[in-house]
């Protein structure tokens, strides 16, 4: 790589002009890992990518064609920071179906859900501000909020998600800016928060008058069991709900949304205005067109069927190929499961052996915001590889684990 | 609007959880103004929008079709934060043609140029950190950097852009994180920095070992005179160059870029990863396809011809309809000119009369980061309205000015 400048004292050096927060920023471990795993013969359970063979290419092409024929001057022009009005309406109506009373004034369209996380950091997190999360938690949230100087107060997970019973003394002591939860098919853990825990969470949040961030990228992708009431429905007055079309449609066209009390949306809009003016008008209109035609429902059914099969394949393969002393979660939906290996195996060390055997995953430690766990755990994605590859990849991992034990 | 919660003391209230920076964030004055001006019978010179009738709709549609036929699995999938590799290469090569030695490692694709400004704020600006700009300067930069707590050190403009002769004592005293310049067809002033001032700027930046941010959204849209050497070419080792396809192609598909020393790009990539993972893969591939076919050159020629005509129409109308005591810049390109009215006229007050007369502009004060100027000035856009409307709008404004004098 070309380096153009050295500072006067001989060091390479523009760092001296950088903000304190820039020193906290790091490249996500996953991204670095993914570089190792992009060779075509590596079976990767590391990313969180949907199955590309299921992308609704024809429907998207039809939407492009329709929009450019009917409203080209609108589709290619600057547009409102809040988002394309018909899409905001569509989302508000869809959420109202679940009994949450949302109007377009409660909806902000974002460049993927990740941007909503960033906007939350920008609006709510000062240097050193406490944020309550489960541990492990979503890597992208850690990355977004660490840049703003968040201090992560963490609560452990069990097979039913965040141990909500443990949060009261923490919120009492710390008054976090918000409580961050992934109630459905947690990334990375694959766990789901039962209704009682959701109700308890809301009760505590009400008692201490706190905000809840409900991150729900996978909610529509349920393979067994019944839908559980969203937290945003239990406590619309204090819940910032994050949704996305990345998992139900395609992630390359980056359309997500935040739904929240209007006063919070207003502040997030101001933050977004400085951040990118608005999300691609064209992409918003394409997603809106596909969604308004009622295609999502059909498509999600198809996704559920295929991902269900892949999840089962992974669960069966784990039982078949992994040694005793290992365990894993049984996700009712989503894209991930969380596996534990025996304490003699460190999943960061194991990673190198695994890559030699042409298989990859993300070591658990990366999902712990304070780096205090996950040494014997890993996240496995089951949506991207086909069933054959899943069997072979889990077999290879089993061999690698035995080798290290 | 629905308000869901009140704080315990009865105030509407999630503000108490918000970061200090959220209190600094405001909605852009322009956005608020634009709301007033969106009635179809208002002639607006307020926005910075390209002429929608010139959008290359057919070429974009062909690109959509081609990409979805040839590479759907790639176009709709997650992709690298740095940007789509062929587009980064295309940009690096285009810039190399101007004699700047740039490789893809020097290029980051952003969600419009605005996101590059935001990333610069995130990477370089701590609370209270000094940034040197002209005054007036680009509103979007003020908005992006104010959120991070920038302290704006300003230098006045004259008809040849930023008065570079005045910066040395300021940079000596303040050591700004960077010097922000819009050398070509300044927004809002319409001025162009001559080569001698560019060289002087580089000389001073080298003497004090400072960074320069060269924001160049309009560089390709020149209507008279010769191209002037980019600052990035004079000082590639310390210049962060910002470019965009918003003005040369379409702004609704939000593709911009930053070109900088690799070590800075690396930090900006980390910042962008937390901000939105990556810019729409599909939009990047569409722009890349259109650009690689060599269409931009043809298209820009067409834009230049039409905008040249509109600029001339506006200049002629100003001479014809405005009273004595007014003056304006003569931009050699871009989308804006800057007009001064007599000191008895305040352009913020004038705005209300203008809107009653169905014509709009942006009052000058909005472009002064410290609010210390522009009371008798305004920005006029000449790219969006057609020549007929330009004549009528300038006539109406002339009447409004006379009325207030």
Per-residue pLDDT tens over the stretch B85-113: 999 999 999 988 777 778 999 999 999 99
DSSP type of residue B323: P
pLDDT digits (tens, 9 = 90+) for B172-201: 999 999 999 999 999 999 999 999 999 999
Beta bridge partners of A6: A12
The pLDDT of residue A2 is: 34
The pLDDT of residue B6 is: 41
Question: From the CA of B388, how many Å to the nearest CA of chain A?
Answer: 19
User: What confidence category does residue A10 fall into, taking pLDDT thresholds of 50, 70 and 90?
Assistant: very low
Question: From the CA of B31, how many Å to the nearest CA of chain A?
Answer: 9
Interface of B with A in 19-38 (CB under 8 A): 19-22, 25-28, 31
Q: If you average pLDDT over every residue of chain B, what do you get?
A: 93
Helix and strand numbers, DSSP H then E, in chain A: 15, 14
Dig out the tokens for A128 from the structure.
Answer: 């050193």
The pLDDT of residue B29 is: 66
Phi, psi of A244 (to 5 degrees): -155, 150
- Indicate if the pLDDT at residue A385 is higher than 60: yes
Partner-chain contact A27 B126, CB within 8 Å: no
User: What confidence category does residue A13 fall into, taking pLDDT thresholds of 50, 70 and 90?
Assistant: confident
Partner-chain contact A103 B26, CB within 8 Å: no
Question: From the CA of A244, how many Å to the nearest CA of chain B?
Answer: 12
Interchain contact A386–B (C-beta under 8 A)? no
Partner-chain contact B254 A279, CB within 8 Å: yes
Cβ B155 vs Cβ B204: under 8 Å: no
Q: Which residues from B are below 8 Å from A31, CB to CB?
A: 81, 273
A196: CB partners within 8 A, 6+ apart: none
Closest C-alpha among B131, B124, B183, B130 to residue B157: B183
Would strands B179-181 and B212-215 be described as parallel, antiparallel, or unpaired? parallel
Partner-chain contact B72 A49, CB within 8 Å: no
- Indicate if the pLDDT at residue A235 is higher than 80: yes
Closest C-alpha among A272, A254, A20, A214 to residue A98: A214
DSSP 3-state of A84: coil
The average pLDDT across B142-152 equals 96
The pLDDT of residue A33 is: 67
ipTM: 0.94
Partner-chain contact A275 B7, CB within 8 Å: no
Question: From the CA of A346, how many Å to the nearest CA of chain B?
Answer: 27
Give the torsion through C-alpha atoms of A146, A149, A154, A159, to 10 deg.
-20
The average pLDDT across B384-400 equals 97
Distance of CA A382 to the CA centre of its chain: 15
Mutate to test the interface with A, among B27, B57, B65, B76 (most CBs of A within 10 A): B76
∠ CA A278-A279-A284 to the nearest 5 degrees? 130
Closest C-alpha among B154, B221, B155, B234 to residue B194: B234
pLDDT digits (tens, 9 = 90+) for A174-220: 999 999 999 999 999 999 999 999 999 999 999 999 999 999 999 99
Cβ A163 vs Cβ B294: under 8 Å: no
Interchain contact A177–B (C-beta under 8 A)? yes
Say how far apart CA A404 and CA B252 lie, in whole Å: 53
**What DSSP assignment string belongs to B43-92?**
EE-SS----GGG--HHHHHHHHHHHHHH-HHHHTS---TT--HHHHHHHH
- Report the run of H or E that residue B314 belongs to, with start and end: helix B295-321
Partner-chain contact B280 A111, CB within 8 Å: yes
Say how far apart CA A110 and CA A114 lie, in whole Å: 8
The pLDDT of residue A8 is: 38
- Indicate if the pLDDT at residue A4 is higher than 50: no
pLDDT digits (tens, 9 = 90+) for A80-116: 999 999 999 999 999 887 777 789 999 999 999 999 9
Partner-chain contact A22 B124, CB within 8 Å: yes
Q: Helix, strand, coil: what percent of chain A each, to 5?
A: 45, 15, 40
Interchain contact B119–A (C-beta under 8 A)? no
- Indicate if the pLDDT at residue B119 is higher than 80: yes
Q: Which residues from A are below 8 Å from B146, CB to CB?
A: 274
Q: Chains A, B: CB contacts under 8 A, how many?
A: 291
Cα(first)–Cα(last) distance of chain A, in Å? 40
User: What confidence category does residue A147 fall into, taking pLDDT thresholds of 50, 70 and 90?
Assistant: very high
DSSP type of residue B10: S
Partner-chain contact B267 A17, CB within 8 Å: no
Closest C-alpha among A185, A187, A189 to residue A220: A185
Phi, psi of A381 (to 5 degrees): -95, 135
Interchain contact B386–A (C-beta under 8 A)? no
Partner-chain contact A252 B76, CB within 8 Å: yes
* Residue indicated by tokens 């067809």: B185
Cβ A234 vs Cβ A199: under 8 Å: yes
Q: Which domains does chain A possess?
A: 15-55+298-404 (3.90.1150.10), 71-294 (3.40.640.10)
DSSP 3-state of B157: strand
Which residue in the set B31, B148, B237 is minimally distant from A5, CB to CB? B237
User: What confidence category does residue A32 fall into, taking pLDDT thresholds of 50, 70 and 90?
Assistant: low
DSSP 3-state of A182: coil
DSSP 3-state of B155: strand
Question: From the CA of A345, how many Å to the nearest CA of chain B?
Answer: 31
pTM more than 0.90:
yes
Distance of CA A89 to the CA centre of its chain: 24
pLDDT digits (tens, 9 = 90+) for B257-279: 999 999 999 999 999 999 999 99
Phi, psi of A205 (to 5 degrees): -60, -35
Helix H segments across B220-294? 231-234, 262-276, 281-292
Partner-chain contact A250 B125, CB within 8 Å: no
The pLDDT of residue A95 is: 85
The average pLDDT across A231-243 equals 96
The average pLDDT across A242-246 equals 97
Residue A375 has, within 13 A of its CA and on its CB side, a CA count of 8
Say how far apart CA A89 and CA B299 lie, in whole Å: 36
Cβ A140 vs Cβ A117: under 8 Å: yes
DSSP type of residue B331: -
Helix and strand numbers, DSSP H then E, in chain B: 15, 14
Cβ B336 vs Cβ B139: under 8 Å: no
The pLDDT of residue B307 is: 98
Q: Which residues from B are below 8 Å from A61, CB to CB?
A: 64-65, 68
- Indicate if the pLDDT at residue B145 is higher than 50: yes
The pLDDT of residue A34 is: 65
Partner-chain contact A277 B7, CB within 8 Å: no
The pLDDT of residue B39 is: 75
Dig out the tokens for B209 from the structure.
Answer: 């070992």
The average pLDDT across A277-289 equals 97
Cβ A335 vs Cβ A247: under 8 Å: yes
Say how far apart CA A239 and CA A249 lie, in whole Å: 25
* Residue indicated by tokens 């460049």: A111
Between residues B89 and A16, the one the model is more confident about: B89
- Indicate if the pLDDT at residue B40 is higher than 90: no
Q: Which residues from B are below 8 Å from A118, CB to CB?
A: 274-276
């Amino acid at each position: 790589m070309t380096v153009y400048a050295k500072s006067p004292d001989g060091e390479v050096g523009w760092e001296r002009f950088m903000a304190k927060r820039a020193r906290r920023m790091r490249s996500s471990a996953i991204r670095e890992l993914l570089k190792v795993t992009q060779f075509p013969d590596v079976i990767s359970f590391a990313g969180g990518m949907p199955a590309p063979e299921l992308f609704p290419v024809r429907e998207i092409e039809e939407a492009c064609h329709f929009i450019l024929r009917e409203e080209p001057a609108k589709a290619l022009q600057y547009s409102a920071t809040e988002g394309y009005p018909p899409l905001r309406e569509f989302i508000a109506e869809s959420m109202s179906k679940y009994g949450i009373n949302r109007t377009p004034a409660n909806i902000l369209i974002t460049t993927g859900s990740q941007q909503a996380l960033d906007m939350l950091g920008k609006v709510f997190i000062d240097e050193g501000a406490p944020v309550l999360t489960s541990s492990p938690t979503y890597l992208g949230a850690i990355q977004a909020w660490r840049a703003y100087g968040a201090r992560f107060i963490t609560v452990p997970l069990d097979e039913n998600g965040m141990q909500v019973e443990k949060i009261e003394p923490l919120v009492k002591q710390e008054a976090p800016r918000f409580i961050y939860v992934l109630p459905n098919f947690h990334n990375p853990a694959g766990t789901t928060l039962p209704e009682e825990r959701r109700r308890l969470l809301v009760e505590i949040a009400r008692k201490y008058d706190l905000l809840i961030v409900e991150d729900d990228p996978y909610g529509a992708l349920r393979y067994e069991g019944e839908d559980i009431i969203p937290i945003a429905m239990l406590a619309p007055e204090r819940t910032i709900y994050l949704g996305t079309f990345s998992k139900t449609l395609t992630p390359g066209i980056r359309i997500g949304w935040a739904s929240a009390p209007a006063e919070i949306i207003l502040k997030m809009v101001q933050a977004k205005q400085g951040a990118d003016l608005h999300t691609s008008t064209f992409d918003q209109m394409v997603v809106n067109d596909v969604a308004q035609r009622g295609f999502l429902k059909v498509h999600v059914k198809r996704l559920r069927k295929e991902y269900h099969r892949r999840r089962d394949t992974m669960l069966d393969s784990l039982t078949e190929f992994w040694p005793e002393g290992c365990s894993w979660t049984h996700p009712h939906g989503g894209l991930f499961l969380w596996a534990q290996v025996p304490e003699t195996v460190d999943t960061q060390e194991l990673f190198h052996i695994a890559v030699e055997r042409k298989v990859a995953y993300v070591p658990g430690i990366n999902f712990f915001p304070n780096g205090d766990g996950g040494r014997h755990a890993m996240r496995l994605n089951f949506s991207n590889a086909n069933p054959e590859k899943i069997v072979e990849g889990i077999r290879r991992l089993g061999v690698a684990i035995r080798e290290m034990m």
